[in-house]
Amino acid sequence: MKKIIIINGPNLNLLGNREDDIYGKESLDKIKADCEKKCHEKKIELTFFQSNNEGEIIDRIHDVNDNYDGLIINPAAFTHSSIAILDSLRAINKPKIEIHLSNIYAREEYRKKSITSEGVDGLICGFGGNSYLLGIEAISKLIYK
Ligand code: DQA
C-alpha cells in the first residue's frame, strides 16, 4: 500500500462559505471524503492536512521523504509568495503535484505567478474540487509506475 499526503494551505478550511463563485460550494470535508474514496480505489493510504500556518505546512512537507510515497499540495495564497515553501518542496525527492481549485492563470495578475510550482513535478488547476481527484490520478501513475 502506497501512502500520500494532501496538504492544504490557508483559508481552504472555509471552502463552501468562501467566494463560492470562484471556489465552488463544496466544503473541504466533502473534498476530503471524495479524495478518501478515490485513494481507496487506487490502493493509496491518504493523510489529508490543512493549516493556516506556513511553518506547520513546511513541517508536514519535511515529513514526506521519510513517511510518504508522494505529496499533493494546494498552497493557497502561499503559492504566490512563499519561497520558504518552495525551498521545502525542492528538498523532497518523492513525486509532488501542485493543485488549485481555480485557474490561477485566468485571474488577477498577482495570482498568475506560482512560486511554489517551481518545486513540483506538475500543476493541475481550474477544475474545482475535481483538481484534487485529478491530482490523485496523476500521482498514482507516478508512485505505481
Ligand atoms: C487557490 C488559488 C489561490 O490564489 C488562492 O489564494 C487560494 C485558493 C485555489 O485553489 O484556487 O486560496 O489556491
100 given a catalytic annotation: yes
Q: Which three cell numbers stand for residue 23?
A: 471556489
- Looking up residue 74, the CATH number of its domain turns out to be 3.40.50.9100
Determine the structural domain holding residue 130 and report its residue range.
2-143
Ligand 1 nearest-atom number relative to CA 103 = 11
The total number of structural domains in the chain stands at 1
Q: Whose CA is nearest to atom 6 of ligand 1?
A: 77
Mutate which of 100, 110, 120, 134 for ligand 1? The one with the most ligand atoms within 8 Å of its CB, which is 100
144 given a catalytic annotation: no
Q: What is the pLDDT of residues 16-46, one digit of tens each?
A: 988 888 998 999 999 999 999 999 999 999 9
Note the pLDDT of residue 40: 97
User: pTM to 2 decimals?
Assistant: 0.97
- C-alpha distances (whole Å) from 46 to each of 29, 43, 86, 111, 116 are 14, 9, 23, 28, 22
Average of pLDDT values for 46-60?
98
Above pLDDT 90, what percent of the chain?
Answer: 94
Chain centroid, CA 110 distance in Å:
19
